[in-house]
Amino acid sequence: MDESTRLDEIIQSACPVVDRLPSVRRNRLAILVRSFLRDVEFRGAGGFQAPPEAHLKIAAHACLVLLNRQQDHFDLGLRVVLHPHGIQHCRELDDRQFRRGRMDVDWGEIRRDGAVSVAAMCRVMHEFVHRLDDPHVRANTSSPLCSTECHATWAKVMEEERTFLRARIEYGVPTPLTPYAATNHAEFFACTTEAFFTRPDMLRDQFPRVYAQLAHFYGGRA
């Protein structure tokens, strides 16, 4: 099996939505992944040697959020640091690393029990979602699509649905989305993105308008 075929197979298996994409979108995803692997620096914390599949899995999930956008890369100088057994965080360190283009990933969590966890991979994707549009690498409050009309619809729907989520939480109505999703626009987008890739049926049933917006944004249906 040549390297190109192996990469394509890993991309296909990275998330359930990938094999449902039209062939032209799968081809674009493969191009984006190759560019990501070329442009992004990977390091292991404390001398940790991550397996090659770690880089490929992270690249595939990261590039899914670029798939239906004109922007075809993340901030320049991005470094992904993989940790084998957890990450010790503090807020000041997190903020400094985020601004400087460093992202810390717990590969031990992702690889728990010897199998790649899609849910954990989508938590990594969550952080890439925050890097989409802002040149200063801040969590943006909007996520423009390919046209002004699309963005206007996106902004209206996502704000109305976030308000609906906040009301459910306030009145104690059970919701399948984490309360953290109601924090602000950026977190709602990132958290619903996780749901789109890990629990698409739930999102489609409980938040159909959000599901429709994300399906348009990512160029396919989960």
Render pLDDT for 133-171 as a digit per residue (tens, 0 to 9): 454 443 444 444 556 677 788 889 999 999 999 999 999
74, part of any domain: yes
Are 84 and 161 in the same domain?
Answer: no
Report the pLDDT value the prediction gives residue 100, as an integer from 0 to 100.
61
Q: Residue 159 has what pLDDT?
A: 94
Return the pLDDT at 14. 61
What pLDDT does 137 receive?
Answer: 40
Tell me the pLDDT of the chain averaged across its residues: 78
pLDDT tens digits, residue range 100-111?
A: 678 888 888 877
pLDDT average, residue stretch 169-186: 90
Residues 114 and 182 in one domain: no
User: Of 82, 99, 129, which marks where a domain is finished?
Assistant: 129
**Radius of gyration in angstroms for the set of CA atoms belonging to the chain, rounded to a whole number:** 17
Same domain, 18 and 106: yes
* Residue 16 domain-assigned (yes or no): yes
Q: 139 lies in a domain?
A: no
Which domain does 110 fall in, by range? 3-129
User: Does 125 share its domain with 153?
Assistant: no
Q: Is the pLDDT of residue 30 over 70?
A: yes
In a domain, 82, yes or no: yes
Percentages helix, strand, coil for the chain (3-state, rounded to 5) are: 60, 5, 35
Q: Which of the listed residues 97, 129, 161 is the one where a domain comes to its end?
A: 129
Question: Is 136 part of any domain?
Answer: no
- Write out the H or E segment, with its range, that includes residue 41: strand 41-44
Domain count, the chain: 2
> Is 22 part of any domain?
yes
The pLDDT value recorded for residue 7 is: 65
What's the CATH number where 20 sits?
1.10.472.150
Where b means 16+ CB within 10 Å and e means fewer, 177-188 reads: beeebbeebbbb
Give every CB contact of residue 58 below 8 A, 6+ residues apart in sequence.
42, 80, 105, 121, 124
Asked, for residue 141, whether it belongs to a domain, the answer is no
Q: Which residue has the higher pLDDT, 75 or 101?
A: 101
pLDDT for the residue numbered 50 = 85
Whole-model pTM: value is 0.77
**By percentage, how much of the chain surpasses pLDDT 70?**
73
Does one domain contain both 111 and 176? no
Q: What is the mean pLDDT of residues 170-182?
A: 90
**Looking at the structure, do residues 169 and 207 belong to the same domain, yes or no?**
yes
Pair 117, 161 in one domain: no
165 and 73 assigned to the same domain: no
- Over range 53-57, report the average pLDDT: 84
| Average pLDDT of the segment spanning 44-57 | 85
Question: What DSSP element (H or E) covers 82?
Answer: strand 79-83
1 pLDDT more than 70: no
Check residue 151 and give its pLDDT. 77
